[in-house]
Amino acid sequence: MGDLKSPTLIYLKGFLFLVLGLFAAGILLAKVGSIQVALLLGIVIWSFCRAYYFVFYVIQHYVDPQYKFAGIGSFLAYLWGKRNPKTTPSK
C-alpha cells in the first residue's frame, strides 16, 4: 500500500481517529463513571500526545535535523543506532 496523498482522505483519517478515541473514552467513562478515571484518562491522552510531539518534532528539529522519522519503530531503531556505534554509518 502506498502513501496516502489525498488531503480529503488525510482529514477523514484524522477525523476517524478522533471519533474512535472519543467513542472509546466515552465507553470507558460510562462503564466506570469516576471523576478520578476521567482525570487520569485526560493525563494519559495529554502525555502520549506530548511524547508523540517529542519523537516526531522535537528530535527532528532540535536534536538531529538530518534524521527523518517514519514511525515509532524508526525512532527506536534510531535510538538503538545512537547507543550502538557499530550500527552507525561512518561519515
Q: Tell me whether residue 38 is in a domain.
A: no
Task: Flag whether the pTM goes above 0.75.
Answer: no
- Predicted pLDDT at 87: 46
**DSSP run (H or E) holding 38:** helix 35-53
Quote the domain boundaries for residue 81.
47-91
Residues 55 and 89 reside in one and the same domain: yes
Grid cell listed for 36: 478520578
Q: How far apart are alpha carbons 63 and 80 in whole angstroms?
A: 15
Q: Tell me whether residue 4 is in a domain.
A: yes
Residues 79 and 52 reside in one and the same domain: yes
Q: What is the largest CA-CA distance in the chain?
A: 57
Residues 28 and 52 reside in one and the same domain: no
For the chain, 91 residues long, the average pLDDT of each consecutive 10-residue run is: 86 95 92 91 93 86 83 85 56 47
Q: Tell me whether residue 29 is in a domain.
A: yes
Residues 53 and 18 reside in one and the same domain: no
